[in-house]
Amino acid sequence: MLDSFFSPKSIAVIGASPEKEKLGYTILKNIIDFKFKGKIYPVNLKSKKIQGLKAYPSVKNIPGKVDLAVFVIPAPFVKPVLVECGEKGIQNAIIITAGFKEVGKQGKQMEDELIAVAEKYKINVLGPNCLGLLDSTISLNASFAEGMIMPGTVAFMSQSGAICTAMLDWANLKNFGFSRFISLGNKSGINENDLIQFFINDKKTKVVLAYLEGFADGQKFLKLAKKLSAKKPLIIIKSGQTEAGQAAIASHTGSLAGANEAVEAAFTQTNTLRAEGLAELFNLIKLFSSDYEMKNNQVAVVANAGGPGVLTTDAIAQSALELAKFQSGTSLILKKNLPATANIHNPVDVIGDARADRYEVAMNAVLKDKNVGALITILTPQTVTEIDKTAQMVVNYAKKMKKPVVASFIGGKKVKSGIEILEQNNIPHYLYPEIAVKSLEKFYLYHKNKTAKDSFPKIKVSGAKKEQIKKLLSKNSAGESVDFLDCENILKAYNIPVVSSGLAKSSAQAGQLAGKLGYPIAMKVISKDIIHKSDAGGVKIKLQDKKQVMVAFNEILKNCKKYKKNAKIDGVLLQPMAKGGKEIILGLKRDPQFGPLFMFGLGGVYVEVLKDVAFRLAPLSKQQAEMMVKEIKSYKLLTGVRGEKASNTDSIVNTILKLSQLAVDFPEIQEMDINPAFVDEKGLSVVDVRILV
């Protein structure tokens, strides 16, 4: 769709101006000065000639075809001129003009009208309210940014014009180039999904960076980001991680699953890298835009000081990386060529009096070691340190090696010249070695996950059962919770084990049911009007005989009527007490952007207090479900500790996959809590479930 947008052979600048202080002058000048090779047509109602080029009063007066129109006219005039562009057959437009939905209701109406025009004439619109486009592959600066991007293989898109200008300034300082640089503005037309789709097959781009404040279509993003990440890295800063003032939500899942959890799950499942801020984005760019290959997670460290080496070792130990174990031949070379006081084991300490030649001995030896996947070179300025020569040594090895070679020259004024040498040669440099470790970790995990295969087991449910579920769900209005027994039947239709139960409407009936189910018994009120049963005194457990059950029934009714006078009570549910096993929670919240968001964690204190949970988006692959279970900090408790038998985690994975399919099959399910379920060495059984439509 965007092939023509990124390859215009002719451009009309609508609002081109002969007055130097106006944007229409700056944008036209940028297109001319940075040597765009196509035809350039200034459009201005009054001027006959602007900056040496013939000007036209309207795009309709331009002879021949126009591929791209750049708008720099007041907002009220954009719509009629866009109609003229459509009538002339112009397929692409950059609307730099502000004053649309970002200014309020009237502006939004104007923008909606623009969208309608663009859709009618099938025009690709970038903006409005954007900085514009810079493209080094066709020498085009169709923006009001000062200066031109250097050629490179990294594409950048941003919803923020201020972030764009900051990135351009950083790139100029660091000698860093881009293939394409796009300001998204209000995203009324071209959005991040359109650009991701284009970049999948864009041979000029090896890495895609983005600053996003929201997603145009979360479900589409999931599909496209996964395709892109399978070919090239996608690194995103996503702002708006918190939901301050979020309204209270009835389910545990709803209260724990904010917008940020959905974004994190989306990035995890698509192998998209999340930069936590501009600093990390800058730190990741050079490493990911390199031609390095990191075949394992084993890292070597070469330093001229013990302290930084130890700090780096600590950072490695706390990451997915490991300190490389050298082959015996490597250790012998180091022993032979380094001073007796040097540490020849990883991290290698070449001692404070090391000159560039000693660094070379160490770097050469460890980089040839087959166990080593990457190297971090650390330098601190000491009396005889050859800073520039050592920096050049790092450059030489980094350029001839496929393994990542990164550096951390620690200090300020003394190491400045060495850092400049590294940056001028696009060698990844980090102010602190701990940051180098974090960047290498993301680099390693991206490439590891890039080759991971996903399998989606088929969950077979008959048409008759699906029809039955549809009827059960349709009994409820939007925002209502489904009757407990109906919830049980829905889970059973997907072969999810549910603890035997019965609903009693009287104390006598409760006594009879208890005898059939078996003691000890648990009882809980069933009422759509009482969400938190324990708070209402609507739960009784460990009941040992018929008399206790009958008394408990009456107490539950009394407590609940007192808690909520007009509550409609359907009855009291009886279940045999769970006999051992770990308490777990499974949940679902339908995210407005990304769809069904699943939660898993251990129950009780682990979810209530520690919030030790993992999230993923449906549909889940088997591998994602397994990762979800292993991701929680308390996972080891499921594997069996202190002589306990290991819980059957396969049954958890299978249940997650069935619930994932249920959520996909029935979009009317908005929230679900299975809390608790119990899992032991034999398998999983659901005790309580709540579904909201």
Mean pLDDT of 362-380: 98
Q: What is the pLDDT of residues 381-423, one digit of tens each?
A: 999 999 999 999 999 999 999 999 999 999 999 999 999 999 9
Tell me the domains of the chain and their CATH numbers: 10-239 (3.40.50.720), 293-450 (3.40.50.261), 463-576 (3.30.1490.20), 582-692 (3.30.470.20)
More confident residue, 167 or 580: 167
475 vs 489: CA distance, rounded Å: 14
* pLDDT at residue 543, rounded to an integer: 95
Which pLDDT belongs to residue 578?
81
Tell how far CA 172 is from the center of its chain: 28
Task: Sort 647 into a burial class: Cβ within 10 Å, 0-12 / 13-18 / 19+.
Answer: buried
Query: Has residue 238 got a pLDDT over 50?
Result: yes
Q: Report helix, strand or coil for 672.
A: strand
Please write the tens of the pLDDT for every residue from 332-347: 999 999 999 999 999 9
Contact criterion met (CB below 8 Å) for 13 and 70: yes
Average pLDDT, stretch 41-59?
97
| Predicted local distance difference test score (pLDDT) of residue 360 | 97
What is the token pair recorded at 312? Answer: 């780096």
Amino acid at position 219, single letter: Q
Reply yes or no on whether the pLDDT at 321 is more than 60: yes
What does the pLDDT read at residue 530? 87
Better-scored residue on pLDDT, 68 or 243: 68
Query: Once rounded to an integer, what is the mean pLDDT over residues 158-178?
Result: 91
User: 596, 652 in Cβ contact below 8 A?
Assistant: no
Structural Rg of the chain based on CA atoms = 32
pLDDT at 243: 54
Mean pLDDT along residues 148-169: 94
Alpha carbons 76 and 79: distance in angstroms, whole number: 7
State the pLDDT confidence band at 246, using cuts at 50, 70 and 90: very low
Cα-based angle 295, 301, 304 (whole degrees, multiple of 5): 160
Helices 218-229 and 259-270, interaxial angle, to 10°? 30
pLDDT value of residue 249: 33
* Structure confidence at residue 580 as a pLDDT band (50, 70, 90): confident
- pLDDT given for residue 436 in this prediction: 97
pLDDT at residue number 258:
57
**Average pLDDT value over all residues in the chain:** 93
Q: Read off the pLDDT of residues 621-644 as tens digits, 9 standing for 90 and up.
A: 999 999 999 999 999 999 988 888
Whether the per-residue pLDDT at 496 is higher than 80: the answer is yes
Instruction: Give pLDDT tens digits for 523-563.
Output: 999 988 887 888 899 999 999 999 999 999 999 999 999 99
Q: What is the pLDDT of residues 444-470, one digit of tens each?
A: 999 999 988 889 998 989 999 999 999
Taking residues 515-520, report their average pLDDT. Answer: 93
Share of the chain above pLDDT 70, in %: 97
Indicate if the pLDDT at residue 247 is higher than 60.
no
Pick the residue with more confidence: 616 or 608? 616
CA atoms of 421 and 59, how far apart (whole Å): 49
| Rounded mean pLDDT, 303-327 | 96
- Amino acid of residue 578: A
Per-residue confidence band for 610, with pLDDT thresholds at 50, 70 and 90:
confident
Residue 252 clears pLDDT 50, i.e. is over it: no
Q: What is the pLDDT of residues 648-660, one digit of tens each?
A: 999 999 999 999 9
Tokens of 266: 């989306």
Residue 247 CA to residue 539 CA, distance in Å, equals 27
pLDDT per position as a tens digit, 425-435? 999 999 999 99
263-308 pLDDT, tens digit per residue, is: 999 999 999 999 998 889 989 998 999 999 999 999 999 999 999 9
CA 335 to chain centre: 45
Question: Model's pTM, two decimal places?
Answer: 0.90
**CA-based diameter of the chain, in Å?**
100
Q: Can you give the length of the chain in residues?
A: 693
Query: Dihedral, CA atoms, 119, 124, 129, 131, nearest 10 degrees?
Result: 180
Q: What share of the chain is helix, strand, coil (3-state, %, to 5)?
A: 40, 20, 40
